[in-house]
């Protein structure tokens, strides 16, 4: 973002390369081809920004189920497919069928792009996953500029989809196109999986991955996803884990209808009182989950892992200020990150059936549903967690001697994901980051759940890496989403350098 950081990075480069075990000869940073590639990307950066502008101009919102927007999504898919064909890639548009809406309507799901460029058996095959759809955005939501007109202010490229995920998809394409434009051999075989329904739950993706396991994906050695953010404005990151999630509903019912507290108050067990007791038994004020056994399978922290948290570029005070939280439960950066990334957490989300409007209605809800979820981490076992939650709630409920009925169900279960950071592609990405940014990456995990990583890893059983390009303040899904020109352009270089490092390591 700050061009000064970039310059500082390159002046640091020679020094860092000296430390890098002779990967380059220290007198010629970076090597000839890389230098040429970087120069090309710098010289053509306005063209790259222009293409991003054209992509941002397509309102490819997959969230609102309306035909007009679906047509935009189809247009976006064609635009990307054309771009890939122009690179010389073989492009398949795989029909993804229809989305059935609750009202009986159905809408087309944009086809999923499967593209391939090169199939030299001597080279590794690296497959990039990305998405072309975006979250809804309207100017009146609080945007200063039109969300579908890419606008540059102080090196920031504002617009919906700039960072999530059109910018990173194009950065990968820019890297490939640079080798093509320079008439240089691509160092790796490249594949693309690009979908248009990520923001709506990646409908049809998992099925496709299953179906193409022995087809399109059989030659894939590595999967790269670039769909999250750094934890800093300055320091690039590599993501090696995400938490899973198990979502619970606990219903307490007396009858379907509500009661008046003047006519029934005092003579029955109120469902809300039961539910509040149940929800109140789940977690204490230090954030510790009170369900017996829940921490039993949580992986112990290793020394190596501990060091990754210590090295991360996070200003706790700035983080606290920007989140407008007076005090977090933990006072050190390391503890905070571990509780976000590698320990489970339990959050209470809401109560269906509760009176929540302003005013003073004297209702006794007859039936209420409490909603909470547990973010899961390695090596928690989801079916064991489900059993523990049910047993705990049964026990708490039975102690109340309530005459109401309680039912507990787990409505969603997504596994956590963790990568092997000693894998070749992590080593290659680290080296590429050092070359482009002159620094070691923050080795980060993500506290939220990104199911695709786990889907790819489980189905194809190949190494999956998340290599984000955007800065922490990019505002994905939010108003004023942006990607810094610096991140976009250096990110294109990063992918190019990554290809070269992969070729060396393979």
Ligand X SMILES: *[C@@H]1O[C@H](CO)[C@@H](O)[C@H](O)[C@H]1NC(C)=O
Residues binding Zn ion (CB under 5 A): 164-165, 227
Has 164 been labeled as part of a binding site?
A: yes
Has 227 been labeled as part of a binding site?
A: yes
Catalytic residue selected from 59, 61, 72, 198: 198
Q: Please report how close the Cβ of residue 224 comes to Zn ion at its closest, in angstroms.
A: 14
Residue 117, burial from CB neighbour count under 10 angstroms (0-12, 13-18, 19+)? buried
Q: Which does 165 bind (CB under 5 to 8 A by kind): Zn ion, ligand X, none?
A: Zn ion
Give yes or no: 152 in active site: no
Considering the complex, state which of residue 413 and residue 451 has its C-beta at the smaller distance from Zn ion.
451
Tokens of 387: 């059993």
Q: Please report how close the Cβ of residue 158 comes to Zn ion at its closest, in angstroms.
A: 17
Has 356 been labeled as part of a binding site?
A: no
Catalytic residue selected from 133, 270, 474, 501: 133
Q: Please report how close the Cβ of residue 24 comes to ligand X at its closest, in angstroms.
A: 37
- b/e for 300-322, b at 16 or more Cβ within 10 A? eeeeebeebbeebbbeeeeeeee
Give yes or no: 198 in active site: yes
Q: Give the SS3 label for residue 438.
A: coil
Q: Which does 315 bind (CB under 5 to 8 A by kind): ligand X, Zn ion, none?
A: ligand X
Phi then psi for residue 472, to 5 deg, are -60, -30
Q: Which does 317 bind (CB under 5 to 8 A by kind): ligand X, Zn ion, none?
A: ligand X
Q: Which does 313 bind (CB under 5 to 8 A by kind): ligand X, Zn ion, none?
A: none
Tokens of 390: 């049910």
Identify the residue whose tokens are 């990967």.
Answer: 23
Beta strands in 112-268 (DSSP E): 112-117, 125-131, 151-153, 156-158, 189-195, 222-225, 237-242, 244-253, 259-260
Phi then psi for residue 448, to 5 deg, are -95, -175
Q: Please report how close the Cβ of residue 322 comes to Zn ion at its closest, in angstroms.
A: 21
Report cis status (omega within 30 of 0) of the bond before 144: no
Considering the complex, state which of residue 61 and residue 227 has its C-beta at the smaller distance from Zn ion.
227
Q: Give the SS3 label for residue 499.
A: helix
Q: Please report how close the Cβ of residue 380 comes to ligand X at its closest, in angstroms.
A: 9
Provide the binding-site residues for ligand X, judged by CB under 6 A. 315, 317-318, 321, 381, 383-384, 400-401
Q: Which does 59 bind (CB under 5 to 8 A by kind): Zn ion, ligand X, none?
A: none
Q: Please report how close the Cβ of residue 209 comes to ligand X at its closest, in angstroms.
A: 20
Considering the complex, state which of residue 141 and residue 458 has its C-beta at the smaller distance from ligand X.
458
Q: Which does 383 bind (CB under 5 to 8 A by kind): ligand X, Zn ion, none?
A: ligand X
Neighbours of 60 (CB within 10 A): 29
Considering the complex, state which of residue 68 and residue 326 has its C-beta at the smaller distance from ligand X.
326
Phi then psi for residue 383, to 5 deg, are -75, -30
Considering the complex, state which of residue 62 and residue 125 has its C-beta at the smaller distance from Zn ion.
62
CB 176 within 8 Å of CB 117:
yes
The DSSP secondary-structure symbol of 164 reads: I
β-strand pairing of 463-466 with 222-225: parallel
Question: Can you list the alpha helix ranges (DSSP code H) found in 57-135?
Answer: 67-86
Beta strands in 447-494 (DSSP E): 463-466, 482-484
Considering the complex, state which of residue 347 and residue 383 has its C-beta at the smaller distance from ligand X.
383
Tokens of 424: 């070749």
Phi then psi for residue 83, to 5 deg, are -60, -45
Which residues fall in the annotated binding site for Mn(2+)?
131, 164, 199, 227, 477
Give the catalytic positions in this structure: 133, 198
């Amino acid at each position: 973002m700050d061009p000064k950081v970039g310059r500082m990075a390159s002046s640091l480069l020679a020094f860092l390369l000296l430390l890098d075990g002779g990967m380059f000869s220290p007198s010629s940073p970076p090597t000839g081809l890389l230098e040429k590639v970087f120069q090309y990307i710098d010289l053509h950066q306005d063209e790259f920004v222009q293409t991003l502008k054209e992509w941002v101009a397509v309102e490819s919102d997959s969230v609102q189920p309306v035909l007009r927007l679906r047509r935009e999504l189809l247009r976006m898919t064609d635009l990307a497919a054309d771009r890939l064909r122009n690179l010389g890639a073989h492009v398949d548009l795989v029909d993804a069928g229809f989305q059935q809406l609750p009202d009986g309507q159905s809408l087309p799901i944009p086809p999923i792009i499967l593209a391939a460029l090169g199939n030299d058996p001597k080279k590794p095959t690296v497959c990039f996953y990305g998405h072309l759809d975006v979250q809804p955005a309207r100017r009146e939501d609080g945007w200063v500029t039109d969300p579908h007109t890419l606008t540059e202010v102080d090196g920031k490229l504002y617009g919906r989809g700039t960072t999530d995920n059109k910018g990173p998809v194009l950065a990968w394409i820019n890297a490939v196109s640079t080798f093509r434009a320079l008439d240089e051999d691509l160092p790796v075989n490249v594949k693309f999986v690009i979908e248009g329904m990520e923001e709506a739950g990646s409908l049809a993706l998992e099925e496709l991955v299953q179906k193409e396991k022995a087809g399109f994906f059989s030659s894939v050695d590595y999967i790269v996803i670039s769909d999250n953010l750094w934890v800093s404005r300055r320091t690039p990151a590599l993501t090696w884990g995400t938490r899973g999630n198990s979502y619970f509903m606990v219903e307490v019912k007396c009858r379907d209808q509500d009661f008046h507290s003047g006519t029934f108050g005092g003579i029955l067990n109120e469902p809300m009182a039961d539910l509040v007791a149940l929800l109140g038994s789940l977690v204490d004020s230090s954030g510790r989950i009170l369900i017996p056994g829940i921490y039993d399978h949580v992986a112990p922290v290793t020394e190596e892992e501990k060091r990754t948290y210590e090295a991360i570029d996070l200003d706790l005070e700035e983080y606290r200020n920007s989140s407008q939280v007076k005090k977090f439960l933990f006072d050190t950066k390391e503890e905070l990150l571990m509780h976000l990334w590698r320990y489970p957490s339990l959050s209470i989300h809401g109560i269906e059936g509760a009176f929540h409007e302003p005013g003073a209605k004297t209702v006794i809800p007859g039936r209420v549903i409490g909603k909470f979820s547990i973010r899961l981490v390695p090596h928690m076992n989801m079916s064991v967690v489900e059993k523990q939650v049910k047993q705990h709630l049964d026990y708490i409920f039975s102690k109340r001697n309530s005459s109401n009925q309680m039912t507990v169900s787990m409505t969603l279960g997504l596994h956590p994901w963790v990568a092997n950071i000693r894998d070749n592609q992590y080593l290659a990405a680290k080296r590429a980051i050092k070359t482009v940014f002159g620094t070691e990456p923050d080795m980060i995990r993500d506290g939220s759940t990104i199911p695709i990583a786990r889907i790819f890893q489980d189905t194809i059983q190949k190494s999956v890496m998340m290599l984000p390009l955007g800065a922490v303040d990019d505002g994905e899904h939010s108003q004023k989403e942006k990607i810094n020109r610096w991140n976009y352009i250096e990110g294109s270089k990063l992918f190019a350098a990554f290809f070269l490092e992969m070729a060396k390591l393979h």
